[in-house]
Structure 1
């Protein structure tokens, strides 16, 4: 895993890169968040492939728990990937609702995700 910090005006976003699954459970999500916060960021960008498939199976509770933890600890996150292949109405509704706010975003490209995160006000 590699963390690259993207600065734009007063906004800093941690871009997480790597081929492996980084978030397998809530504990991994919290560890990643603390690592990102140590880098001085309160926003991060992840690829869908870096997150366990359980996240996208809403009945597992992983997505909701991670979203709640990140909100509680003031971490904004954008997840980049192709989400139209999921045939779950509840997941599609979750993605839609998340994209109405600015805490957890789902975007199809890294450029869109980065732009959206930089527009979000910092928690500070």
Structure 2
């Protein structure tokens, strides 16, 4: 399945294919943002597509990627189980907790959870 724009809970979401190319550079994130500009407000990226550096905060990769989404006013939803990463990093656990309290970047277990967040946000 290619990355597709779907309406989910009344919001246009670019749902990224789990088997798509990895998000390993800032340009990869910008490419997703560009694809979202075709009509999506949210990009749902499977956690499996994110380079491992994303989950190691000392690399600053997650911050760079999240900042791109914030700057372009496109919401980012990281979809999938990241428990092995949060178990290994208190800083990542704190980041996930704080971003999930806000409205621009979410870490969610699945698309059903994204739908629930989108319904609650409207």
- TM-score interval, smaller chain: 0.7 to 0.9
* Cα distance in structure 2, aligned partners of 1:44 and 1:76: 6
Aligned to 1:56: 55
Q: Give the aligned CA root-mean-square deviation in angstroms.
A: 1.8
CA positional deviation for 1:6? 1.9
TM-score using structure 2 length? 0.87
* Cα distance in structure 2, aligned partners of 1:109 and 1:10: 17
Three-state SS of the structure 1 residue aligned to 2:32 is: helix
* Cα distance in structure 2, aligned partners of 1:118 and 1:10: 8
Please tell me whether the aligned partners of residues 21 and 52 of structure 1 are also in contact (alpha carbons under 8 angstroms): no
Q: Give CA deviations for 1:63-97 in whole Å, capped at 9, x if unaligned.
A: 01111111110010111111222210011111111
Higher helix proportion (structure 1 or 2): 2
Three-state SS of the structure 2 residue aligned to 1:106 is: strand
CA gap 1:9/1:32 in 2 versus in 1, 3 angstroms: closer
Q: Give CA deviations for 1:29-55 in whole Å, capped at 9, x if unaligned.
A: 0111101212x1121111100110110
Residue-pair matches, total: 120
TM-score using structure 1 length? 0.86
Aligned to 2:115: 114
Aligned to 1:72: 71
Three-state SS of the structure 2 residue aligned to 1:17 is: coil
Gaps of 5+ in 2: none
* Cα distance in structure 2, aligned partners of 1:37 and 1:115: 23
CA positional deviation for 1:2? 1.4
2:29 is equivalent to residue 29 of structure 1? yes
Three-state SS of the structure 1 residue aligned to 2:73 is: coil
